[in-house]
């Protein structure tokens, strides 16, 4: 097929348009930074597996997020990611325009097809402004994910939302619903709204002249964060200077707030279905945005993508069809204990080989190995386990080793300082407890790290963890979670059965950040010393039982196949 017309076979049936600022499909296409993008990629893969009619829209991010290096003093350094879109994507010939600051900015789409072994295909459009004829500054608007200043962010979100909606129209896609994965794409509602002008006959009421209900019927909005930084707001003087004049600003202020152009409020006001990404997060979102009906659909992971090859082999042998029916994992007891343990030790050796190759450090396969890999933000408290080094040494000297990874946003100085503190703790332990911090955490590193540890640690400040899919990736590989009761773990946790909790029950109903470091640290150390280490070192059948429960009681349910079926029935076809 002519690559310039390669999209046409996707336009004959109504589709769900899935918009996300970042999408993580593979490490070779570095258009993601972390959990939001990985979720988007997993969502698209499950849509392909389930043969759902979907098309995804994102930006090309020609220089990626960034490549992380840690210097000898433990400080993060950032470098552009050099990649070639033409090696992975097809450039389409259709273009569209979006006015930005009064200039017409041309946008071109690159096409990637996410193909499932089950036969489904989902097209993904990567929007690009690096086009001859655009002003030099506009050619770089799709270079960096979450780069630049506030103006750069606003312009990118105009391209994603308004430009993305126009591109779908230019390509003749028939869209039945628009799903906004976080508020970055909320301005697509303005393009939809501009097409409704005059649909309602009431010349005396400006707001009534725009068919808000029609736009609401078309839109689904998923909010992902209870952290204020996750809700983009722009000053009105900036918006009036940069934003295309397609909807009156008097109406925009009714929809987004007089104080600032709030994209979360815009999406909330113009979406019929709104959801948080875990039951607890749905409750917190209701308190953040009173007056809005907010549902909860818990996130998941794409099971096949995140299962180590060692467990793939075992699952294929005993649970044929599991990859497209993850619910079959509930039958994990059909797998002999020794084969579960052998698969785990294969994944562990795979990780340890990578650690030795990249850091020169040799890890002991017999020791309990704890993993922690999250974005380095202070509320995630990556350094919590190091709160009392003497106590940690008393518990784990000769019994324990730790693997860390994670990037901090280049402008998040406290996040960078936390990475530096962890490296100081590593030096202070002097190899009595081996600890490594793996550089440049991405999909390839995660594929080795998560399945290869024995225990997955997660220590966010309650209730700031919206969902936390890294723990789900651990569960599919039989790695139990040891986590604060927040996000998805509230739903997946059965104490001593699927893993272990850290700290008190989840009673917070606001986002003031009620984590008690002292209480959490004490519980972490106490359970590690008196429950987890004795089980791991002295009761192999008991440990394997928890591994199987993580698979059969967590992984069978917390996956994007289950999640997508809920979106279809609760959001898309309503």
For residue 378 the two structure tokens come to 């202070």
Q: What is the rounded average pLDDT for all residues in the chain?
A: 94
Give the pLDDT score at 208.
54
* Whether the predicted pLDDT of 447 surpasses 60: yes
186-200, 246-260, 353-367: range with lowest mean pLDDT: 186-200
C-alpha span between 306 and 219 (Å, rounded): 30
DSSP structure string for 409-438: -TT-HHHHHHHHHHHHHHHHHTTSSEEEEE
Q: What is the pLDDT of residues 369-397, one digit of tens each?
A: 999 999 999 999 999 999 999 999 999 99
Give the pLDDT score at 199.
46
Q: What is the pLDDT of residues 474-514, one digit of tens each?
A: 999 999 999 999 999 999 999 999 999 999 998 876 666 55
Give the pLDDT score at 1.
47
Q: What is the pLDDT of residues 71-127, one digit of tens each?
A: 999 999 999 998 999 999 999 999 999 999 999 999 999 999 999 998 999 999 999
* Whether the predicted pLDDT of 201 surpasses 80: no
Average pLDDT on 205-229 reads 82
CB 425 within 8 A of CB 383: yes
Does the predicted model carry a pTM greater than 0.85? yes
* Whether the predicted pLDDT of 45 surpasses 70: yes
For residue 258 the two structure tokens come to 């007089």
Q: What is the pLDDT of residues 510-534, one digit of tens each?
A: 666 555 689 999 999 999 999 999 9
* b/e burial code for range 258-282 (CB count within 10 A of at least 16 → b): eebbbbbbbbbbbbbbbbbbbbbbb
Grouping H, G, I as helix, E, B as strand and the rest as coil, residue 171 is: coil
Q: Residue 96's closest CA among 109, 113, 85, 86?
A: 109
Q: How many other C-beta atoms are found inside a 10 Å radius of the C-beta of residue 346?
A: 18
CB 109 within 8 A of CB 125: yes
For residue 109, list its beta bridge partners: 127
For tokens 């600022």, name the residue: 21
Give the pLDDT score at 144.
95
Q: What is the DSSP letter of 324?
A: T
Exposure on the CB side of residue 377, measured as CA atoms within 13 A: 16
* Whether the predicted pLDDT of 4 surpasses 60: no
CB 451 within 8 A of CB 351: yes
């Amino acid at each position: 097929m002519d690559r310039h017309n390669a999209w046409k076979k996707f336009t004959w049936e109504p589709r769900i348009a899935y918009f996300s600022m970042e999408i993580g499909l593979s490490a070779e296409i570095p258009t993601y930074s972390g959990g939001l993008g990985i979720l988007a990629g997993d969502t698209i893969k499950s849509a392909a597996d389930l043969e759902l009619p979907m098309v995804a829209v994102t930006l090309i991010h020609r220089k990626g997020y960034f490549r992380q290096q840690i210097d000898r003093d433990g400080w993060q350094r950032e470098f552009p990611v050099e990649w070639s879109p033409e090696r992975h994507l097809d450039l389409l010939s259709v273009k569209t325009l979006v006015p930005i600051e009064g200039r017409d900015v041309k946008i071109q789409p690159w096409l990637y097809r996410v193909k499932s072994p089950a036969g489904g295909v989902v097209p993904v459009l990567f929007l690009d402004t690096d086009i001859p004829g655009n002003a030099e500054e506009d050619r770089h608007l799709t270079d960096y994910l979450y780069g630049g200043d506030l103006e750069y962010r606003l312009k990118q979100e105009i391209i994603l939302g308004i430009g993305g909606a126009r591109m779908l129209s230019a390509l003749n896609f028939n869209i039945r619903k628009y799903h906004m994965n976080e508020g970055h794409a909320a301005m697509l509602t303005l393009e939809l709204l501009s097409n409704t002008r005059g649909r309602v006959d009431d010349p005396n009421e400006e707001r009534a002249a725009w068919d808000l209900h029609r736009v609401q019927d078309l839109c689904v909005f998923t909010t992902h964060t209870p952290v204020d930084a996750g809700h983009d707001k722009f000053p009105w003087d900036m918006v009036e200077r940069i934003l295309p004049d397609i909807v009156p600003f008097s109406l925009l202020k009714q929809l987004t707030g007089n104080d600032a152009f709030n994209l979360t409020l815009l999406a909330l006001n113009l979406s019929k279905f709104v959801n948080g990404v875990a039951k607890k997060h749905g409750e917190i979102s209701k308190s953040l945005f009173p007056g809005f009906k907010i549902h909860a659909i818990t996130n998941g992971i794409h099971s096949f993508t995140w299962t180590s090859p060692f467990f793939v082999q075992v699952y294929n042998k005993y649970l044929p069809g599991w990859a497209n029916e993850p619910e079959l994992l509930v039958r994990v007891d059909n797998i002999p204990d020794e084969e579960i343990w052998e698969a785990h030790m294969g994944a562990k050796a795979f990780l340890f080989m990578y650690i030795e190759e990249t850091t020169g450090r040799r890890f002991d396969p017999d020791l309990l190995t704890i993993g922690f890999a999250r974005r380095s933000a202070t509320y995630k408290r990556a350094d919590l386990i190091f709160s009392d080094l003497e106590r940690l040494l008393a518990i784990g000297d000769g019994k324990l080793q730790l693997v860390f990874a994670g990037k901090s946003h280049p402008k998040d100085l406290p996040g960078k300082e936390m990475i530096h503190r962890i490296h100081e703790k590593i030096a202070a332990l002097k190899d009595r407890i081996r600890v490594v911090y793996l550089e440049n955490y991405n999909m390839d590193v995660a594929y080795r790290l998560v399945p290869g540890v024995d225990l997955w640690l997660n220590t966010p400040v309650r209730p700031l963890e919206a969902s936390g899919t890294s723990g789900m990736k651990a569960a599919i590989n039989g790695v139990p979670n040891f986590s604060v009761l927040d996000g998805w773990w509230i739903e997946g946790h059965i104490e001593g059965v699927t893993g272990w909790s850290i700290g008190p029950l989840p009673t917070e109903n606001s986002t003031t950040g009620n984590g008690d470091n002292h209480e959490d640290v004490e519980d972490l150390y106490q359970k590690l010393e008196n429950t987890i280490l004795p089980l791991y070192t002295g009761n192999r059948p008991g440990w394997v039982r928890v591994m199987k429960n993580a698979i059969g009681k967590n992984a069978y349910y917390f996956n994007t196949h289950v999640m997508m079926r809920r979106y279809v029935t609760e959001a898309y076809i309503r």
